[in-house]
Amino acid sequence: MNGLIIKESARGIDMYTPESGLLQKRMLFFREEVTAESCDRLLQYLLYLDQDDPGKEITLCINSPGGDVSSGLAVFDCMKAMKSPIRTLCTGMAASMGSILFLAGSRREMLPHSKLMIHDPLIGGLSERQMALQLKKRADDLMETRRVTGEIIAQASHLSLEEVYDMTSEDCYLTAERSVELGLATGIVTELW
């Protein structure tokens, strides 16, 4: 495949990429790790579409392994503040921070064989030598992140915060059916259009 779609129209021959064609239909794909860079790119597209036609639904397809919490929460907050409703569609696995981005949707749908994975936040970046106060500060930050993400999951579902904490104490993989049962997803999609 050469990556271009060629279509004949009244204007002549039009050439465009699949991405630009889907962008015109207000459909975006996020299929990478959650990083500062990937979130900046995603936000640029989301903000452009929101400004271009405020109030018209945007579809965000997610297949992400998760990643950076602060970058993901920045996207989550912006998605919640937009004038346009955002439909999130899990197209494979929305894991960790990818699942939190999925939960930002006003309509949260999943393909039949897709999954969500939720868990407590992980601590990273520890060196061999850490002073006790440094470790305590890291632990306090981690517990605050746990509270924030736990509340997001609880608010988007039929679960209490304690039930969320119990489920997320280890990696919890949820099928599309189970996600709908728990209120994390609003439906299972069998037709895209």
Phi, psi (rounded to 5 degrees) for 101: -60, -40
List all residues 6 or more positions away from 176 whose beta carbon is below 8 Å from its beta carbon: 90, 110, 111, 112, 113, 114, 115, 185, 188
> Residue 96 catalytic?
yes
What's the CATH number where 61 sits? 3.90.226.10
Q: Which of 96, 99, 157, 179 is catalytic?
A: 96
Q: Quick check: is 3 in a domain? A: no
Q: Is residue 31 part of a domain?
A: yes
For 93-117, how does the pLDDT look when each residue is reduced to its tens digit (9 = 90+)? Answer: 999 999 999 999 999 999 999 999 9
The helix, strand and coil proportions of the chain, stated in percent and rounded to the nearest 5, come to 40, 25, 35
Is 119 considered catalytic here?
A: yes
Residue 122 pLDDT greater than 90, yes or no? no
User: How far, CA to CA in Å, does 130 sit from each of 77, 125, 127, 137, 138?
Assistant: 32, 11, 7, 11, 10
Kindly state whether residue 7 falls inside one of the protein's structural domains: no
pLDDT digits (tens, 9 = 90+) for 31-77: 999 999 999 999 999 999 999 999 999 999 999 999 999 999 999 99
Residue of 71, 99, 119, 157 with catalytic role: 119
Structural domain that includes position 77: 13-188
